[in-house]
Structure 1
Amino acid sequence: MAVRSAFGASRVRGARFISRCRWWRTMVNEEGLKAMMSGKILVVEDEADLRVLICMYLDKHGFEVCTAGTGEEALALFSSAKPDVVILDIELPDMEGTDICRKIREISDVPLIFVTCRRDRDDIYNGLAIGADDYVTKPFDPAELVARVQGHLRKRNLFQSIGQNQKRWWRNGRLEVDLIEMTVKVDGQPMPFFPKELQLLQFFIHNPNRVFAAEEIFERVWGEESDSDTRTVNAHIFNLRQKIEKNPEKPLLIQTVRGFGYKFSI
């Protein structure tokens, strides 16, 4: 009963998220939204019982699932199966999930969710810094994990489709963003960004000079409401500042509004 209720709450949050983003409604029709909610998921988890449980929930909600219990299997499956989302345990018997993440990021920007027992802030920051889009600590509600997968697929498909409805270039001072190719230059030099960093930057570009609480940023960019995930937002903003601010310790673009949240000031 508790699991069913949690999943129901996740569906309500997802619907509220879509209704709030007006620019989504102009670009995503009902059929397109249904397409965003399906896909192939690679689950990399060495605990067999947990792997089966995750697969059961994903399969119930229409996802095609492939699984791996080791890093070697995961990399081979990633190349052959070409998944739309990767759920990756960090502690595997043959290699660290962080090493797998780095290898995947060399060739793909597929959404990647770490699932791990490590819950220290430094572990979370490091996981996001090397290219993970999300970080879920064990134990967790499988229904919430499914909702996160749906949110990442929804966002990825959306950001791939909106280029035709907007101008291409955005420039401000030393920062230049190609909003169609989603590439960034700082002081005229290309700057590498991870997918979620680009989505967060694009969100700020479309919403300048407005204050957003970390919870709302998470809802708008990641697709869910969750008070516990403000640390994910904080970690991504920290990384973003390192790349676009002249002095990350005294940011001029992404400003902290004490007691309220963040503002993209231009």
Structure 2
Amino acid sequence: MSQLPRSATKFTLQRTAAVRSRKVLVVESNPAMAEIEVLVLATAGHEVISAPTAEHALTLARRWNPDLVLLELDLPDLPGVHLCRQLRQRSPIPIIAVSLDGNPDTIGDAYAAGACDYIPKPLRSGELLDHIRVHLTAPQAA
């Protein structure tokens, strides 16, 4: 079996390091859940900021320019689907919707509003990081 060239290994390591430093905006109204998500993402090497409401998320997104948004669909001030649509009009960044509601209509609405992925709650750390890694390494995220 042939060995990979050194440059291939080096490229992979550089690419992984670049992904770890990406900015993730967590939009989550439940403070305990937001704290867990921020901790998991920060431990994985991401720069993370959280917002408990749609209004706060829009302000942060304008000022901070995140590379990815993790968006709870059940927000206190505006449905997450509406926020998703507003974020999508502003930027092509990946938006991953999360929700306890497994209703296919809700999930379909999130995709129609511009979400690129959906993860059901409760979130599993490994699964969350895998989804984020996929979207941050996709061509549109480069």
Residue deviations 1:63-111 (CA, integer Å, cap 9, x gap): 0001100111000000001000000111111111111111111120000
Q: What is the match of residue 94 of structure 1?
A: 77
Give how far 1:34 is off.
Answer: 2.1
Aligned length: 134
C-alpha contact 1:37 1:153 (8 A) present in aligned 2: no
Q: Determine helix, strand or coil for the equivalent of 1:106.
A: helix
Q: What is the match of residue 23 of structure 2?
A: 40
1:103 to 82, 86, 93: 86
Q: Distance in 2 between matches of 1:50 and 1:71?
A: 16
Q: Distance in 1 between matches of 2:100 and 2:19?
A: 29
- 1:155 paired with 2:135, answer no
C-alpha contact 1:116 1:136 (8 A) present in aligned 2: yes
Which of these two proteins has the greater Rg computed from alpha carbons?
A: 1
C-alpha RMSD of matched pairs (Å)? 1.8
Question: Relative contact order (C-alpha < 8 Å, sep 6+): which is higher?
Answer: 2
Normalising by structure 2, we get a TM-score of 0.87
C-alpha contact 1:37 1:154 (8 A) present in aligned 2: no
- 1:56 paired with 2:39, answer yes
Q: Which runs of 5+ in 2 are unaligned?
A: 1-7
Normalising by structure 1, we get a TM-score of 0.48
Matching residue's letter, 2:30:
E
Q: Which runs of 5+ in 1 are unaligned?
A: 1-24, 161-266
Matching residue's letter, 2:50:
T
Matching residue's letter, 1:106:
Q
Give how far 1:30 is off.
Answer: 2.9
Q: What is the match of residue 124 of structure 1?
A: 107
Q: What is the match of residue 5 of structure 2?
A: none
Matching residue's letter, 1:39:
R
Residue deviations 1:125-144 (CA, integer Å, cap 9, x gap): 22112110111111121221
